[in-house]
C-alpha cells in the first residue's frame, strides 16, 4: 500500500475520532467527518493564493515569499485549550525530527491563527511563547477575516463556531515549493511517517536533476528510513552503499555502451 493510500485511510479514521466540539453544551451540530475529509481531499494540488498575513510582531507576511521551499501549515486558534496545544507540541516534535534528518533550512513552518477577530499579534506571541515555538524557520501569523476565510477555503479546512470556541478538524498541511497543496495530515498525534514521507517528497523532489546535489538528494530520499524500534528516522547505510554501487554500475555500463557505439561508428 502506498503512503498516499495509507494517509487517505488514516485521515478518514482520525477525522471521525478527533472532530469534537470545544464545548459539550454547544447547540451547534458537529461537523460531518466524511464531508470535512472530502473537502480537504478536493484541495490537494490546489495553489494557495498570494495572501498577506500579519505575524506575531505585527509585520506583514506575504505567502508568495515562501515560494521556492516547501511549507508546513498548522492551523490553530490561540484561545484553544483542548486540541490545539497538544497538536502544536506534536508538530514541534515532528518538525524537530525533520530538521535533524532533512535540515531546517530545507523547509518552512507557519502556524496560522484562524480566529481572525481574536488572534491578534499579542495573542499569537503568547501562544508561541507558551508552546515553545522557537525554531528559525517557523513563524506564527493571522490576518483579517476575509483573508483568513479565503486561505482556509484554499486549504479545504473545515471549522464551525460553537459556544466557547470552535469545532474544527486537526489539520496540518504540507505545501510544495510551488505553493501547491501536497498532503494533509490529520490528527492530534499523527504517526511520524505520515508527516515525514510527504515532506521528503516535496523537499527532495520526485525527479532527480543530473547534478551532484540532485544525486545526493535522491540518495537521501531513498536511504532515510523510519526505525520503528527507535521511533525515529535514520540513514540506512546499507541502502546508501547499495545506491552508490548501483550508480557506479550504471556509469560503467554507460561508458561501455558509449565506447562500443564510438567503435561501431568509426569502423
Phi-psi region of 263 (alpha: psi -120 to 50; beta: other; left: phi over 0): alpha
In 3D, which of 107, 108, 63, 91 has the Cα closest to residue 204? 107
Q: What pLDDT digit, counting tens, does each position of 184-194 carry?
A: 999 999 999 99
pLDDT of residue 17: 40
In tens, the pLDDT along 198-208 reads 999 999 986 55
Three-state secondary-structure class, residue 123: helix
Mean pLDDT of the region 104-133: 97
Residue 84 annotated in ligand binding: yes
The answer, yes or no, to whether residue 244 has pLDDT greater than 80, is no
Per the annotation, does 9 bind a ligand?
no
With a cut of 70, say whether residue 115 has pLDDT above it: yes
pLDDT, tens digit, 9 for 90 and up, residues 6-21:
444 444 444 434 433 3
- The pTM is what? 0.75
Give dist(CA 198, CA 193) in Å, integer.
Answer: 8
- Residues 161 and 123: their CA atoms lie apart, in Å, by 19
Q: What is the mean pLDDT of the chain?
A: 82
The answer to whether residues 184 and 173 touch, using CB atoms and an 8 Å cutoff, is: yes
Rounded CA-CA distance 252/250 in Å is 5
Cβ-proximal residues to 51 (8 Å cutoff; 6+ apart), any chain: 62, 63, 143, 147, 150, 151
C-alpha distances (whole Å) from 82 to each of 22, 76, 248 are 7, 11, 54
Give me the residues paired with residue 61 across strands.
Answer: 53
DSSP 103: -
**Residue-wise pLDDT tens digits, 163-192:** 888 999 899 999 999 999 999 999 999 999
Q: What is the mean pLDDT of residues 240-267?
A: 61
Task: DSSP letter for 51, please.
Answer: -
Least confident among 59-73, 82-96, 209-223: 209-223
Looking from the CA of 60 toward its CB, the CA atoms found within 13 Å total 7
- pLDDT of residue 26 exceeding 80, the answer is no
- Checking if the pLDDT of 60 tops 90, the result is yes
Count Cβ atoms below 10 Å from residue 141 Cβ, excluding itself.
21
Residue that wins the pLDDT comparison between 145 and 218: 145
For 203-222, give the DSSP string. Answer: HH-SS--SSHHHHHHHHHHH
Amino acid at each position: 500500500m502506498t503512503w498516499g493510500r495509507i494517509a487517505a485511510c488514516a485521515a478518514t479514521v482520525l477525522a471521525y475520532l478527533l472532530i469534537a466540539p470545544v464545548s459539550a453544551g454547544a447547540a451547534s451540530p458537529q461537523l460531518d467527518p466524511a464531508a470535512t475529509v472530502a473537502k480537504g481531499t478536493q484541495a490537494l494540488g490546489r495553489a494557495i493564493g498570494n495572501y498577506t498575513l500579519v505575524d506575531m510582531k505585527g509585520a506583514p507576511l506575504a505567502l508568495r515569499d515562501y515560494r521556492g521551499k516547501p511549507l508546513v501549515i498548522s492551523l490553530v486558534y490561540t484561545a484553544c485549550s483542548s486540541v490545539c496545544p497538544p497538536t502544536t507540541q506534536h508538530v514541534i516534535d515532528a518538525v524537530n525530527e525533520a530538521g535533524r534528518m532533512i535540515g531546517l533550512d530545507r523547509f518552512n513552518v507557519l502556524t496560522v491563527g484562524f480566529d481572525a477577530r481574536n488572534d491578534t499579534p499579542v495573542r499569537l506571541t503568547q501562544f508561541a511563547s507558551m508552546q515553545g515555538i522557537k525554531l528559525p524557520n517557523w513563524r506564527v501569523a493571522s490576518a483579517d477575516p476575509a483573508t483568513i476565510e479565503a486561505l482556509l477555503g484554499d486549504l479545504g479546512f473545515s471549522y464551525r463556531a460553537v459556544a466557547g470556541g470552535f469545532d474544527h478538524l486537526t489539520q496540518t498541511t504540507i505545501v510544495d515549493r510551488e505553493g501547491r497543496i501536497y498532503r494533509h495530515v490529520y490528527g492530534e498525534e499523527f504517526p511520524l511517517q505520515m508527516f515525514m514521507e510527504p515532506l521528503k517528497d516535496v523537499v527532495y523532489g520526485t525527479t532527480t536533476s543530473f547534478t551532484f546535489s540532485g544525486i545526493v538528494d535522491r540518495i537521501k530520499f531513498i536511504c532515510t528510513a523510519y526505525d520503528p524500534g527507535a521511533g525515529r528516522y535514520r540513514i540506512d547505510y546499507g541502502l546508501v552503499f547499495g545506491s552508490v554501487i548501483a550508480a557506479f554500475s550504471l556509469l560503467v555500463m554507460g561508458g561501455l555502451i558509449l565506447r562500443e557505439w564510438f567503435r561501431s561508428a568509426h569502423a
